[in-house]
Amino acid sequence: GDSVTQMEGPVTLSEEACLTINCTYTATGYPSLFWYVQYPGEGLQLLLKATKADDKGSNKGFEATYRKETTSFHLEKGSVQVSDSAVYFCALSDRDNNNDMRFGAGTRLTVKP
Amino acid sequence: ETGVTQTPRHLVMGMTNKKSLKCEQHLGHNAMYWYKQSAKKPLELMFVYNFKEQTENNSVPSRFSPECPNSSHLFLHLHTLQPEDSALYLCASSLASGPSYNEQFFGPGTRLTVL
């Protein structure tokens, strides 16, 4: 079945450092890919998405490119801020699976001043 | 109130108690979802309701019983839970579920502790 694997955390960075959180997926069809963010005490919020191969999703300085050849959707940001501290979830939605969302286990990011 | 709200935010219950979680969405959506978020595990989809009809039950034990009286409200009735059921329970809503993807909007969750 469909699944998502993302790098385990926690990840601790200093402010203005570069961020990469790896995400790879397994899917039977042609899924859409997402990154969600969960700030402390809140629910998940959609950060960015890509619906087909080679699409790049971007939002708030974060980017991720849908790579079909490597089945990956790594999250990147060039310069993180303290306010980016949160848990990040990679997810996929597959039309062949009724578009049910499949989430990775989450990666906790802490950015220190 | 806007978005998706959940009450209570925190709940502690014994294994013999009966309690209910409530979710309400003010977005005009037609699909609602219950997820279970446990530490160090992926989010688990529990139930899906589409236009008040249950369209998915992901092999959830019968001690969890959902109810969707209308498109804006979703309940999760709990009885004779086990300590391993302790988790964050998240509600979400979207325009609809099915072949056409619609973004899901999440509530803040109910932190459940079963003693």
Res A98: pLDDT: 65
Tokens, residue B108: 């803040």
Question: What's the confidence (pLDDT) of residue A93?
Answer: 87
Residue A81: pLDDT over 60: yes
How confident is the model at residue B98, as a pLDDT?
A: 66
Mean pLDDT of chain A: 92
* Per-residue model confidence (pLDDT) at position B80: 93
Question: Looking at residue B20, what is its pLDDT?
Answer: 97
Q: What's the pLDDT at B111?
A: 95
The verdict on A102 touching B (C-beta cutoff 8 Å) is yes
Q: Does A45 touch chain B (CB under 8 A)?
A: yes
Query: Is pLDDT at A107 greater than 90 in this prediction?
Result: yes
Which residues in chain A have their CB less than 8 angstroms from residue B103's CB?
Answer: 46, 49
pLDDT in tens, A24-78: 999 888 889 999 999 988 889 999 999 999 999 999 999 999 999 999 999 999 9
Strand locations in A15-85 (E):
19-21, 23-26, 32-38, 44-50, 56-59, 62-65, 75-77
How far is A32 from A66, CA to CA, in rounded Å?
A: 9
Mean pLDDT by 10 residues, chain B (115 residues): 89 92 95 90 89 82 94 95 94 79 86 94
The answer to whether A94 touches A28, Cβ cutoff 8 Å, is yes
pLDDT at A91 (0 to 100): 93
Residue of A nearest to B32 (CA): A100
- Please give the pLDDT value at position A7: 87
* B30 reaches A (C-beta below 8 A): no
* Angstrom distance (rounded) from CA A86 to CA A68: 27
Choose between A6 and A8: higher pLDDT: A6
